[in-house]
Amino acid sequence: MTQRTICVLGLGYIGLPTASFLATKGYAVLGVDIAPGVVETINRAEIHIREPDLDILVKSAVQSGRLKAQVEPAPADVFIIAVPTPLREDKDADLSAVRDAVAAIAPHVRPGNLVVLESTSPVGTTEHLVAGGLRLAGVDMGEIHVAHCPERVLPGRILVELIQNDRIVGGVDEAATAAAAAFYREFVNGEVLETTAATAELAKLAENTYRDVNIALANELSMISDRFDVDVFELIGLANRHPRVDILRPGPGVGGHCIAVDPWFIVSQAREEARLIRTAREVNDRKPGWVLDKVRQKAARFRRPAIACLGLAFKADVDDLRESPALHIVRALREADLGDLLVVEPNLRRSDEFDLVPLEAAVERADIVLLLVDHRAFRRLKPAKLQEKVLIDTRGMWR
């Protein structure tokens, strides 16, 4: 089965790279986003998010005439749903964007079409919300294939991982699995692994949960090590020399819109069983408060210290502030009024919330230097500049 027209719903961190990549592979792609501003930006061959090389890819896709954006879907051979599935206040998944996308495509779906959900979703979403939603909207599902193919790309490496990563494809029935696998094999260099929709959904959640639990162990070890005056980064480096140990790195907490979110999807669906997963989430969520207490202790030595806060992003070398523990800590420091804050974020041109200070100037003036994100730019800081400063290095960058 060869499909030539693709409709991608949601033009964010996953949808936009996917849509523009498919356009450059020769498909006719319609990118759909509910935000008119996003649609206009893309049709001007520009981008609204930051990701290495995405600007070049979008420009080439739009200029080739094979990528167009609009706010409404239209008939296509394949529909790819890549909309956000954030966490609600009650720690359950907010699936309203998936529901809206399904309602929007329902009038356009035709026999022979493939509908793929790429958004990270709780188990059962593909079957009940996507296939079930189309059925409820009156679509004759006889010849419609519905599958889940979770996105697995790492922000900062999206364009590489989009092509190279293995993909998991799970249909609501065998025909859907086969149709979706055939489609992904047309453009993915990694292996395409076939399973059921539910297994694909849980596999994606398990991947991010694995990382969250491992980081929780690292964060817990960092607090234990502090009690014994042991350097946790040396400790983990030594433990990882064992051939079967691979502990991740502690930090100020876990952020982003995936790892700090997805484990809750499992917890809310399997409350009784998911005890370790829940505890790991709680350990990681407590880490920013622990860092704040460290700053409080150090600040008590001064009358009113100047505190350089290095980094606001949720991880190194991105400008993404979503669910960022660094941002959370800096806001809490401002609230606690422990001193004069000098906020540094080299990946942002400006911030609505903070007066950003250049790195060198902030460190020069600081009594306390609090490293929150291991951005490349901070590595270039000369050790001499840090002498006589009180350092709180949450990422182990200056050891």
Nearer to ligand SAJ, 76 or 236 (CB): 236
The smaller minimum CB distance to ligand SAJ, of residues 105 and 280, is found at 280
Q: If you compute the radius of gyration of the chain from its CA atoms, what whole number of angstroms results? A: 23
Tokens of 391: 């350092």
Q: Half-sphere exposure (CA, 13 Å, Cβ side) for 253?
A: 26
Give burial (CB, 10 Å; 0-12/13-18/19+) of 122. Answer: buried
Contact characters 104-123, ligand SAJ, x per CB under 6 A: ----------------x---
Size of the site for ligand SAJ (CB under 6 A): 20
Active site residue 7: no
Based on CB atoms, which residue is closest to ligand SAJ, 73 or 325? Answer: 325
d(C-alpha 114, C-alpha 181), whole Å: 11
Minimal distance in Å, beta carbon 70 to ligand SAJ?
25
Residues 284-343 that bind ligand SAJ (CB under 6 A): 314-315
Q: Rule CB under 6 A: is residue 151 a binding residue for ligand SAJ?
A: yes
State the minimum distance, in angstroms, from the CB of residue 288 to ligand SAJ: 11
Residue from 35, 71, 103, 154 binding ligand SAJ (CB under 6 A): 154
Neighbours of 194 (CB within 10 A): 18
**Cβ nearer to ligand SAJ, comparing 151 with 194:** 151
The CB-of-271 to ligand SAJ minimum distance in angstroms stands at 22
User: For the chain, where are the alpha helices, taking DSSP H only?
Assistant: 15-24, 36-43, 54-63, 96-105, 132-136, 158-164, 174-185, 197-227, 232-239, 262-269, 275-299, 325-336, 359-365, 376-379, 383-386
Q: Which of 7, 68, 149, 258 is catalytic?
A: 258
Residues in contact with 282: Cβ distance below 8 Å, sequence separation at least 6, in sequence order:
none
Active site residue 204: yes
Binding mask 220-259 for ligand SAJ (x = CB under 6 A): ----------------------------xx-x--xxx-xx
Residues 161 to 220 in contact with ligand SAJ, rule: CB under 6 A:
207-208, 211, 215
157 vs 365 by CB, closer to ligand SAJ: 157
Restricted to residues 45-104, the positions that interact with ligand SAJ (CB under 6 A) are none
Residue 257 CB, nearest distance to ligand SAJ (Å)? 7
- Contact 299/305 with Cβ under 8 angstroms? yes
Contact window for ligand SAJ (CB under 6 A) among 23-31, 47-55, 147-155, 385-393: 147-155
Helix (H, G, I), strand (E, B) or coil at 307: strand
C-alpha 90: how far from its chain's center?
A: 20
What is the C-alpha separation between 270 and 33, in angstroms, rounded?
33
Q: Kindly state whether residue 135 participates in binding ligand SAJ, applying the rule CB under 6 A.
A: no
Please tell me which residue in 7, 68, 149, 204 is annotated as part of the active site.
204
Nearest Cα neighbor of 9 from 39, 37, 47, 48 is 39
Q: Which of residues 25-54 bind ligand SAJ (CB under 6 A)?
A: none
Task: Say how far apart CA 77 and CA 46 lie, in whole Å.
Answer: 26
**Phi and psi at residue 286, to the nearest 5°:** -85, -15
**Catalytic residue IDs:** 204, 258
Residues at the site binding ligand SAJ, with contacts judged by CB under 6 A: 120, 151-155, 207-208, 211, 215, 248-249, 251, 254-256, 258-259, 314-315
